């Protein structure tokens, strides 16, 4: 089964970048992943004042509108870093909010698709032929979270003090 998401108030709406799940990255507070993503278009670019405007935007839609307004002022390496920026924001969101992390993990191995009718890069587009990069990132984050769970992390286990041994236990 494929899980489609798009609107925040619909099932699986928490997967949307517009969902109201704030994140902290590098000591900076962001209202949503959309705020974080849009602001990072301007880091080191020609219009760094846009970052503050985006951070103060009252809604993720407003943040997106500001971020999309001046593509000629975006950072020069945007096409190289935008997938990483999105991944970092999405991972932080799901690592910071146990409730939506549980929803994500409950999807098992299902394919996740952003059902945007207009976005053929981040979503599937109207005819569902789009690249679905956001869905791919969320599925990648789902796998990353699984591997970070205690049953999958390496732990140091000390032997007796006399033996002074440390063994790795998976």
Range of the domain at 145: 2-169
CATH of the domain at 14: 1.10.357.40
How high is the pLDDT of residue 115?
Answer: 98
35 pLDDT exceeds 90?
yes
| pTM over the 0.85 mark | yes
How high is the pLDDT of residue 156?
Answer: 42
Q: What percent of the chain has pLDDT over 70?
A: 88
Residues ≥6 apart with Cβ < 8 Å to 88:
25
How high is the pLDDT of residue 15?
Answer: 99
Residue 162, φ and ψ in degrees, nearest 5: -60, -35
Confidence label for 152 from pLDDT (cuts 50, 70 and 90): low
- State the average pLDDT for the chain: 91
State mean pLDDT over 9-22. Answer: 98
CA dist 103 and 3 (Å) reads 12
How high is the pLDDT of residue 43?
Answer: 97
- Could you tell me whether strands 155-158 and 166-169 are parallel, antiparallel, or unpaired per DSSP bridges? antiparallel
Confidence label for 150 from pLDDT (cuts 50, 70 and 90): confident
- Structural domain count, the chain: 1
157 pLDDT exceeds 50?
no
C-alpha 26: how far from its chain's center?
Answer: 15
pLDDT tens digits, 52-110: 999 999 999 999 999 999 999 999 999 999 999 999 999 999 999 999 999 999 999 99
DSSP state of 163: T
């Amino acid at each position: 089964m494929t899980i489609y998401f798009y609107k925040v108030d619909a099932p699986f709406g928490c997967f949307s970048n517009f969902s109201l799940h704030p994140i902290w990255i590098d000591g900076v507070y962001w209202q949503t992943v959309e705020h974080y993503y849009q602001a990072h278009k301007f880091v080191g670019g020609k219009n760094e004042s846009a970052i503050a405007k985006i951070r103060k935007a009252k809604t993720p839609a407003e943040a997106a509108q500001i971020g999309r307004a001046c593509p000629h002022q975006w950072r020069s390496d945007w096409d190289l870093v935008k997938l990483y920026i999105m991944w970092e924001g999405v991972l932080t969101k799901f690592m910071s909010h146990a409730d939506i992390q549980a929803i994500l993990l409950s999807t098992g191995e299902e394919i996740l698709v952003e059902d945007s009718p207009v976005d053929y890069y981040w979503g599937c587009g109207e005819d569902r032929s789009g690249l679905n990069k956001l869905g791919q990132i969320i599925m990648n984050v789902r796998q990353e979270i699984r591997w970070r769970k205690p049953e999958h992390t390496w732990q140091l286990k000390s032997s007796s003090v006399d033996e002074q041994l440390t063994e790795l236990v998976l």
